[in-house]
Amino acid sequence: MKFNKLIITVLTAVLLIVPCSVYAENTEEQTEEVVYSGEYYAFDKIAQYICDLYIDDSYTKDEIMAQGISKLLENNEPLLIELLKSTLSSMDDYSEFYTAEEYKQFQDELSHTFYGIGVTMTQKENDYVEITGFAEEDSKAEKAGFKIGDKIYKVDGKDMTGLSIDKVREHIIGEENTTVKITVLRDGEEIELITTRVSLHEDTVLEAVLEGNIGYIQITSFDLNTSKEFTEALNLMRENNVKNIILDLRNNPGGVVATAVEAAKQIAPKGKIIDVKYRDSQYDITFNSDLETKEFDFFVLVNENTASAAEILASAIQDSECGQLIGTTTYGKAVIQNQFKLDNGMAFKLTIGQYITRNGHEINHIGLTPDVQIENEEVNIDDSDLAAFDFKTNVSLGNSSDNVIAAKERFSIMGIYNGETSSNIMTEDFKEIISNFQKSNDIFSYGILDVATQKKIDELFSQIKVIKDNQFDKAYEMAGGKSSSEK
């Protein structure tokens, strides 16, 4: 990369996107004075003096400032990147500058692409994550020797015993086309396999048919494939003659606007979806639905983290009256960014427009108000179905007691234990878990499940809070399902 050429290109971009004039204080039409830092004020004044008094009168003030910045940034890429990041972030909360590496990562996140070995896994009731299938036919992983039923023992030499499926996955994922060495257990034998990480895609739409023939569709974000996945989910509903659908958009940060519009076209009755307004009105555009009649009734779950493209779909459903919003007021992001890529792989994202909902609502910094406002709540875990401690029987290695089951069940929920919970025998492995728990809680660490340890486990477990999903319960009830009190 020729750095001087990069500076010129980038400086041009900076000068194009900074919406302020160096002559702001002398412009009569200026309605709001631009306030600069003291450092910038000094820079501006010196440039003006050079422009007015320097022996060579051919320089303009803008040229002098650009020349000074260019000289400062010459052969100093970190400073250039810092300047560009500061420039873009000063515009608003959403404009942003990316290095080439950051932009690739951003694109991967936007498309829900990651690099793994192409297997599906599950957490069995033992100490290992187990391979249950392959992401595609004739996969590299299968050719490398992996088989269904293999237990993942080590990744690049690191022991995976007892780790959760998410932790094992974190170790497997890496850079595209790099190799990873995985040791599996197969019929009691350790087998070392090496394969190449490949590009994989995570679905953004999850669907199910619930009791009472009520549909459930969750959209986690909007990427380039979301509209297609949404179509497939709707087809499942049609196959099951589902008419009432819970659409979960909670914690959906948005994504590709066009994908949200395409999803809305499939379910919102004929009419406007959104108006998109740009700085130059000749580029304004209205997106419409041509659907003659609604096919489904939607009960849309939203919260304070439902944003951007997710709000487009939610507003189209609410304004077209093909569904109701349930939950809390949404985030309120109704501005649109475009991505601009530079020749060297760097890129920036700039806010260039805003959207207005079907019924003419401007929701930026306001959000959508649900038809039914309801919040979730934190509650203690219901332990009525768990085995209970007797608080009087000590259990040592080789002995059996329901106190062991009680400890296993609570440790399993607390993330301390991943094994089976039905056996009441104190094994060597579980003795070690008890000993480690005692050590971390200032109890004499000797691996006996004594009364003091039982009380400490019960005390910590009673402090755990879980979310009671009142929002889902309300949506399920409104969709025709039986409430928990009726079951």
Amino acid at 482: K
Tokens of 355: 């959207």
Q: Is the pLDDT confidence value at 352 over 80?
A: yes
3-state SS track over the chain: CCHHHHHHHHHHHHHHHCCCCCCHHHCCCCCCCCCCCHHHHHHHHHHHHHHHHCCCCCCCHHHHHHHHHHHHHCCCHHHHHHHHHHHHHCCCCCCEEECHHHHHHHHHHHCCEEEECCEEEEECCCCCEEEEEECCCCCHHHHCCCCCCCEEEEECCEECCCCCHHHHHHHHCCCCCCEEEEEEEECCEEEEEEEECEEEECCCEEEEEECCCEEEEEECCECCCHHHHHHHHHHHHHHCCCCEEEEECCCCCCECHHHHHHHHHCCCECEEEEEEEECCHHHCEEEEECECCCCCEEEEEECCCCCCHHHHHHHHHHHCCCEEEEECCCCCCCEEEEEEECCCCCEEEEEEEEEEECCCCCCCCCCCCCCEECCCEEEECCCCCCCCCCCCCCECCCCECHHHHHHHHHHHHHCCCCCCCCCCECCHHHHHHHHHHHHHCCCCCCCCECHHHHHHHHHHHHCCEEEECHHHHHHHHHCCCCCCCCC
pLDDT, one tens digit per residue, over 276-301 is 999 999 999 999 999 999 999 999 99
Beta bridge partners of 248: 218, 301
pLDDT, one tens digit per residue, over 5-37 is 444 444 444 433 333 323 333 334 444 555 666
Beta bridge partners of 349: 96, 339
pLDDT of residue 143: 85
- Contact predicate 184/172, CB 8 Å: no
Highest mean pLDDT among 32-36, 111-115, 346-350: 346-350
- Mean pLDDT across 430-434: 96
pLDDT of residue 482: 79
For domain 205-373, give the CATH superfamily: 2-enoyl-CoA Hydratase; Chain A, domain 1 (3.90.226.10)
Cα–Cα distance between 20 and 11 in angstroms, integer? Answer: 15
Tokens of 389: 């401690």
Handedness of CA 306, 307, 313, 319 (dihedral sign): positive
pLDDT, one tens digit per residue, over 38-64 is 778 888 899 999 999 999 999 999 999
Chain-centroid distance of CA 336 in Å reads 19
- Region for 327 from its dihedrals, namely left if φ exceeds 0, alpha if ψ lies in -120 to 50, beta otherwise: left
CATH of region 402-465, choose from 1.10.8, 2.60.120, 1.10.101, 2.60.98:
1.10.101
Pairing of strands 347-357, 465-468: unpaired
Around 209, how many Cα atoms within 13 Å sit in the side-chain half-sphere? 13
38 phi, psi to nearest 5 deg: -60, -35
pLDDT, one tens digit per residue, over 137-178 is 667 888 889 998 899 999 999 999 888 887 888 889 888 889
Which top CATH class is 116-201? mainly beta
Pairing of strands 347-357, 271-278: antiparallel
Cα–Cα distance between 288 and 123 in angstroms, integer? Answer: 45
Sequence spans of domains, the chain: 3-76, 116-201, 205-373, 402-465
Cα–Cα distance between 432 and 451 in angstroms, integer? Answer: 17
Cα–Cα distance between 478 and 475 in angstroms, integer? Answer: 5
pLDDT of residue 30: 43
